[in-house]
Amino acid sequence: MNGFNLALYLLSICLSSAGAWFVIRYGHRLDLLDKPNDRSSHLTTKPKGGGVGILAGFIVVTVSIGLPIAFWASAAILSAISLWGDRLEISPLFRLLFQFSASLIFLTGIWHGPLFSDLGYVMILPFSIFIVATTNYYNFMDGINGIAGITGVVGFGLLSFYSFSSKGYPSILTLNTCLSLGCLGFLPFNFPQAKVFMGDVGSILLGFVFAAMVVWLSKNFLDVVCLSSFLFPFYADEITTELVRLKHGEKIWRPHRRHLYQLLANEYGIPHWKVSLGYGLGQLLVGVSVLFFMNSGLLPVLSIIFLYFFIFTLVTSAIRIRLTSKSA
């Protein structure tokens, strides 16, 4: 570790903490407030948008290490628009328009040679959908104290380890480490008790950048599968929840409170910090398992991921069935 990287690491922690403190101090004046409603998992009004410090750290780091402007500018602009969304309601269609635009700008900006060489530019559309879906999944899953921050620490930490072990893209290693530390700097203000919420400015940024890192670091389909698994609990919860909602004829684009983490925190009354910590430990378990099997090839990796997803589905189904029987 050189002095320059160490300075960036410390700066990421400091900016993240400073951003959270600033929103706690001035959020009311800036109308950055999260008022509880029937979908909320909190009972009192809290400042939101505390992820602005993570955004500031991201911009400083990416510019300092010379990453392509197509990457950092698209992510930063999308996050800034999300900060505006923390103040005022933005229509889902408007959000999707900017998210797809940002993903396409990023993808065309890094496509110096055909990724997955036999497929080439055909992969841009599915990767764009993947980036937008991950961006929104991260945002949807940010609903209780600590869950987005802990997931960021673990997810970007795993990406950092992969970057280090693969001995490629040292600048990407630096960025992922900075983002992991940035989430760590935010956590004391949001976990175990929340003084401020990360807001869309933070969760949208983290989701977009995580997906972008998966695409950027992947040389083949195995890499995509392995690196995506570093966000396993978020994907698993979102997919199983939407399947349940489809089964019950619900309109999946409408807001709800049916995620597993919401049921555990709200209907079962488990403290937020325990649920969030459980998600983080599960995320770490899956990530380490996948890294262990990665050199064995695609089939073993898919097998271990499907096993974890099967277990997650069984546990989720049991919890939902028990909740239904209790309310009947």
Buried b (16+ CB within 10 A) or exposed e, 98-122: bbbebbbbbbeebbeeebeeeeeee
Q: What is the pLDDT of residues 294-313, one digit of tens each?
A: 999 999 999 999 999 999 99
Choice between 312 and 46, residue whose per-residue pLDDT is larger:
312
pLDDT of 31: 85
Helices 298-327, 272-293: crossing angle, 10 deg rounding: 160
Q: What is the pLDDT of residues 65-100, one digit of tens each?
A: 999 999 999 999 999 999 888 787 788 888 999 999
Give percent of the chain with pLDDT exceeding 70: 93
Which of 114-118, 138-142, 192-196, 300-304 has the highest average model confidence (pLDDT)? 300-304
Identify which of 178, 173, 179, 175 has the alpha carbon closest to the alpha carbon of residue 160.
173
Q: Are 227 and 213 in contact (CB under 8 A)?
A: yes
Q: What is the pLDDT of residues 216-260, one digit of tens each?
A: 999 889 999 999 999 999 999 999 999 988 887 777 767 777 889
Tell me the pairing of strands 33-34 and 46-47. Answer: antiparallel
Burial class (CB in 10 A: 0-12, 13-18, 19+), 83: buried
pLDDT of 292: 95
DSSP string, 283-325: HHHHHHHHHHHGGG-HHHHHHHHHHHHHHHHHHHHHHHHHHHH
pLDDT of 227: 97
C-alpha span between 86 and 84 (Å, rounded): 5
Average pLDDT, the chain: 90
pLDDT tier, 1 (very low <50, low <70, confident <90, very high otherwise):
low
Q: Are 54 and 200 in contact (CB under 8 A)?
A: no
Give percent of the chain with pLDDT exceeding 90: 69
Q: Are 143 and 36 in contact (CB under 8 A)?
A: no
> Which segment of 38-42, 64-68, 313-317 scores lowest on mean pLDDT?
38-42
Q: What are the residues facing 46 on neighbouring strands? A: 34
Q: Position of tokens 């325990």?
A: 274
C-alpha span between 128 and 253 (Å, rounded): 19
Q: What is the pLDDT of residues 130-155, one digit of tens each?
A: 999 999 999 999 889 999 999 999 99
Helices (H), the chain: 3-26, 52-64, 69-87, 92-110, 124-140, 147-166, 170-186, 199-217, 221-228, 232-247, 260-262, 272-293, 298-327
| Sign, Cα dihedral of 156, 162, 165, 170 | negative
pTM assigned to the model:
0.94
pLDDT of 41: 66
C-alpha span between 102 and 99 (Å, rounded): 5
pLDDT over threshold 90, residue 177: yes
